[in-house]
Amino acid sequence: MKITTWNVAGLRAFIRKNGWGWICQHDPDVICLQEIKANPDQIAAEDQALFAPYQTFWNPADRKGYSGTLTFVKEISVQFKKGLGIDRFDHEGRTIQTEFDSFTLFNLYVPNGGRDHSRVPFKLDFYAALLDLCDSMHAEGKNIIICGDINTSHQEIDVNNPKSKSKITGFLPEERIWINKFLEHGFLDVFRDLYPEKIQYTYWSYINNQRAKNNGWRLDYFLISEALLPIVRDVETHPDALGSDHCPVSLILNAP
């Protein structure tokens, strides 16, 4: 099974830039998109036809042109659920849960803290609510895969020139500590577990052509329940995939 996550920075623009062509070429079984900025009725019929091999589950934000998540699943019968069950987060369309036989998959678009840090408390509350839910699920014996734009670079290796970014949202100490908390509560950052010394970014600002300079951030993650590690084959990052200021990341599992 291949699960691919990608912040597309606007689904309509992503399709125009032929981002879906990359998806067709790589043929994941499950696709988790974030920051779709669209409702289904805003996608042209010919573009929706591209999605035909997949079941689709949309969670757009109440506010048009903002946030939103979208999950695609090929061939497997699954159940979907929107949100975390907390309205202050759920009206922004940031979460989709998909129930598979052996795990629950979270497609997440974690809030940005804002240039003025005004949304940092909201972001930290989102992390806390998610972890509370995951703790309850782990206590019930469920396994979890969290994927998406986590909007925080965890360690200095995960961001270019970390000293210059230490006071910018996405690399604040109070944000980074939440990645530690998830790791202390039964999760693994599976990319870093497999590649402890590899420098690999997943986001580059369009300003000043930062991707060409590889001045980037690792913001897109797979956090998995520790019990799932034996079925992990690999995590692949695809920095050459275009269509967004983020690139896709794929988790490959030895699972049906």
- Positions annotated as catalytic residues are 149
Please count the other Cβ atoms lying within 10 Å of the Cβ belonging to residue 18. 12
* CA distances, 245 to each of 26, 190, 206, 220 (Å): 19, 22, 6, 12
CA atoms of 153 and 180, how far apart (whole Å): 11
Encoded tokens for 104? 């629950």
Encoded tokens for 171? 């690399």
85 and 73 Cβ atoms separated by less than 8 Å: no
CA-wise closest residue to 149 among 193, 110, 123: 110
CA-wise closest residue to 215 among 172, 174, 168, 162: 162
CA atoms of 162 and 195, how far apart (whole Å): 19
For tokens 């803290």, name the residue: 113
